[in-house]
Every structure is written in structure tokens, then in C-alpha cells.
Structure 1
Amino acid sequence: MLGFGLSIEPQLWALIFTMVRIGAAFVAAPVFGAVSVPLPVRIALSGSIAILAMNTAHIQPPDQVFALATFLSVAGEVLIGLALGFILQIAFAAPMVASEAIGISMGIGFATTVDPQHGTSTPALGNFLSILLTLLFLSVNGHLVLVELVVRSYTLLPPGAWLAPSQFENIVIFGGYAFLAGLLLALPVGFLLLCLNIVVGMLSRSAPALNLFAVGLPASLFVGVIALLVAMPAMGDYMLVIIREGLEATRHLVLG
């Protein structure tokens, strides 16, 4: 019942209520939450997965729509969905941190481009690493793992349940992983550029008449491009570690 003498089909109301958590997770999660994904596609995908969740878990929506308990239940569903997607979004922030560390050392920190996932201007190197991380995420079926975790969350976090304070604490602690993973991702190239800057600094002290900008900037750009080319396999392997850590944190939030 809707209240106020109105009624709604129980199956339709259960489907809409189930779509709340799934839709919130897709809004916050990478890939699904990209601005390039049309809204009708998100709604259709949320509805399809909601039907799957209704057939695998016993989901009991509130009896009335316009009730305080219903609003609290919907708020809890939105919070759980946003938490599930936000954890992966934290892991996907690591390439941006790495691009800032590498781009400043290479001298291309000013080069920006439009991020297709967020629709904002981001460093060109960070956009490249984010696309690479997204392709690796799809190649290891990370999107399917996320859908599985969202569906399984209805069993361990039934409607009406709220996240415990310890779960919020785990999300905050995992937020620091984005900075750690970004620095480790930039470590091979960043260390080589740091050594180059030390050499250029020693040259500038030994030969003060040397034009540092005419020598240092082209050298940093050339060495940075070569270092990225050589270190890309190792960076790709560590991106798989970032994906695994993000999915593991999401699984820990759902399964405990």
C-alpha cells in the first residue's frame, strides 16, 4: 500500500525497492558510473540485476511507501549501495595520484584532457592510466564480481540493516590505500626521474652557466617516456593488485 488510500502492485514495489541499492552502487562504482553510460542503460541494468536478486534472496520491502520506516529503509539501502561502489572508486583513484607524481617530475603536469568517465579535465597521463586500469578491470571480470557482491549483500545485509561503525572505519582506512597504491605505481618511473633530477642539480652546481631549463626539461621528458615504456609491464601487474585489493575490500564490507 502507498498510503492515502492508494495502492501499488506488490511485485512492482519490491522491484523498485530492490533497485535502490543496486542503482546507488552503480552510481558510485567505476565503469558503471561513467558519464558515458546513458541513464536508460543504468536503469535497465539495475532492473535486470534486481530481478536476479529477488530470485536469489528473500527481499521483503516495507508495507507502505509513505512511512517513516520506509524512508529510513531506503536511506539505508542508498548508503549500503554507495559504500559498495565507493570502495572501488577509491582504488581507481590510484592512477591519478601516480600521474601527478610522474607528471610533475616529467614536466607534463600541465597537459590535461577530458576524462570520459567523469567528464572533467584530468592529467593526460592519469587519463591514460585510468583507461588502462578500466580495461584490466573488465578483463578480469571485476564488473561481474561487483554484481555478485551486490546481490550477495542482500543476504548478509538485508533491507533495513545499516552499516556498522567498524565498517565505516574500514572504508576510511582503505581511503589511504589510494595514496599508497598511487605512489607505489609511480615508484619505478618516479625513482628514475628523481635520479635524473639529482644529476641535473649536480650539473647546475658544477656549471652555473648551463641553462638548466634548456637541458633539464627535455631530458626529463625523454627519460620519462622511455621509463614509462619500460616500466609499463610492471605497472600493469601492480594495477591488477590494485583491482584485487579493491574487490577484496568490497568483499570484506559485504561478508565481514
Structure 2
Amino acid sequence: MVATGFNMLAVLLVTMRLTGLAASAQVLGANMVPWRVRLALVIAVAIVLQPVVPAPRVGSSALEIVAASVVELLVGLAVGFTASIFFHGVRTAGQLAGIQMGLGFSALVDPTFGEQTTVMARWLGLAAWMVVIGFDGHHVLLRGLAESFAWVPAGGAGTALGRAVMAIPAAGAQLFVTAVVVAAPAVMIVLLLNVGMALLARAAPQLHILVIGFIFTITIGICTVAFSLTGMAGVFRDGYLRMAQYALSFCRPV
């Protein structure tokens, strides 16, 4: 049954679920976006969704309302965190590739995560975001979250929270899969280059392999990542959609 008129309780519960998403998902959860902007956007979306959200399944007591609000917040956090696992995987891939290429010293602050990271991790992260925005991947998550209120009405997210606890470890395993797949081309090429330079140093000891190899490793590593980005577009798209499906599976009916 869809709520008729303005239902303040429905707005509250919808806001709590969206707040969890805004706090943990990328872009909305990024440190570079002020909390006031995120909160204003969450409240605006909650008011827009309220007329089409089913009536909350919550009693009138304060304890039941508080408990339902906490559950909604946790479900939103789980959805946003799971969807963000893909970007953590890409960031890990960039760090692996950067360290192998000799760019581990080139650290900078990533405003998205608020942490220190390598240039290669930042580069791959931006490339992944351009691909996601290019095929409207952010709409997939927002549309799915809006539909989740039809699958799991506000105030009835207890079962969704239980499924989230069971599914997040499986989704977390995809972080390492994404990192290995994205970093594999650069890591393998640099590994073969290091083997070749080791053989060259053995055959011609008079060459300054450390000086020459450092330049070659960085140059060839960057070129490998650049040339592999066209093929990585499909990997980014599939990886993001897979994580979005994991995230929204918490709220889908069994």
C-alpha cells in the first residue's frame, strides 16, 4: 500500500536509508563533498520519493521508530559500502601497478578517500569513474535504491540487513579479483622487463642497469596502462555492475 499525503515517518525512514548510502558510497560519500550538500540532497530525494514509497511497517512507539531508523541506516551503509568495493579494487590495482613500476614514492592525497595514495591509483580511479559516468552507472544504483523501497518497505529492512551481513564478505572477495585483473597487464610487463634487465646485467656487467632500468620501467609501465585502458573499459563496466547487483541484492525479494 502506497502512502497517501505527506507522511513524516516515511520521510524519516527513507532519509535514514539514503543517509547511509550518502555516507558510504563514492562521490556522495567522498570527503570533498560537504556534509551540508549531501544532507540537503538526501532530504530532497526523500521528499520526492515519499509519495511513491509504501506505508512504513512500524509501530507508533518511539522505541520501534528508533530501531527501524537504525536498521534503515545500516542497510544504506551496507548498500553504499558494497557498491564502493569496486572503486577500492581499482585503487588497489593502481597501487600494485605503481609500486611495481617504481612509482611508489610518488604519493599524493586522494580527496575521494581522504588518504595518501599513488599517482597510478588516482589515475586508474579517475578512469574508472569516467567509464561509470559514461554509461550512467550512477543511475543504476540510484534507480535500484529507489526500487528497493517497493521490495523492502521502509521499516521492514530487518531481513535485508541479515542478507547484507551474509553477502558483504562474498562481495569483498571481488575487490581482490578486480585488483588483479586491472593490475595484471602492467605487473606482468614490468616483471618480464625486470627479468630481461637481469639477464642483460648478467651478460653486460659494465652497463648501469639500475639507472637505465628505472627509466625504462616507469616509461613502459605507464605506456602499458595507457594502452590497456581501452580494454579496461569493459572490465570497469562489468565490475561496477557486478558490485551494484551485490549491493541491491540485499533489498531484493528472495
Normalised TM-score (structure 2): 0.88
Superposed, 1:194-205 pairs within 5 Å as: 194-205=191-202
CA distance in 2, matches of 1:74, 1:82: 12
Give the % identical residues: 25
CA distance in 2, matches of 1:55, 1:95: 38
Structure 1 unaligned spans of 5+: 1-9
Q: Pick one of 175, 180, 186 that aligns with 1:178.
A: 175
Q: What's the counterpart of residue 20 of structure 2?
A: 24
Q: CA RMSD in A?
A: 2.0
Alignment-mate amino acid for residue 54 of structure 1:
Q
CA contact (8 A) 2:30 2:111 kept: yes
CA distance in 1, matches of 2:222, 2:193: 13
Once the two structures are TM-superposed, the CA of residue 166 in structure 1 deviates from its matched residue by: 4.4
Once the two structures are TM-superposed, the CA of residue 13 in structure 1 deviates from its matched residue by: 4.2
CA distance in 1, matches of 2:94, 2:157: 39
Identify if the C-alpha distance between structure 1 residues 57 and 15 changes in structure 2 by more than 3 Å, giving closer, same or farther.
Answer: closer
Identify if the C-alpha distance between structure 1 residues 113 and 59 changes in structure 2 by more than 3 Å, giving closer, same or farther.
Answer: farther
Identify if the C-alpha distance between structure 1 residues 220 and 62 changes in structure 2 by more than 3 Å, giving closer, same or farther.
Answer: same
Which region of structure 1 is more displaced relative to structure 2, 154-163 or 196-205?
154-163
Alignment-mate amino acid for residue 94 of structure 1:
G
Superposed, 1:93-242 pairs within 5 Å as: 93-158=88-153, 159-162=155-158, 163=160, 165-242=162-239
Q: What's the counterpart of residue 7 of structure 1?
A: none
Once the two structures are TM-superposed, the CA of residue 144 in structure 1 deviates from its matched residue by: 1.7
CA contact (8 A) 1:149 1:254 kept: no
How many correspondences in the alignment? 246
CA contact (8 A) 1:87 1:246 kept: yes
Once the two structures are TM-superposed, the CA of residue 61 in structure 1 deviates from its matched residue by: 6.7
Secondary structure, in 3 states, of the residue corresponding to 1:186?
helix
Q: What's the counterpart of residue 51 of structure 1?
A: 47
Normalised TM-score (structure 1): 0.87
Alignment-mate amino acid for residue 33 of structure 1:
G
CA distance in 2, matches of 1:34, 1:181: 21
Q: What's the counterpart of residue 6 of structure 1?
A: none
Structure 2 unaligned spans of 5+: 1-5
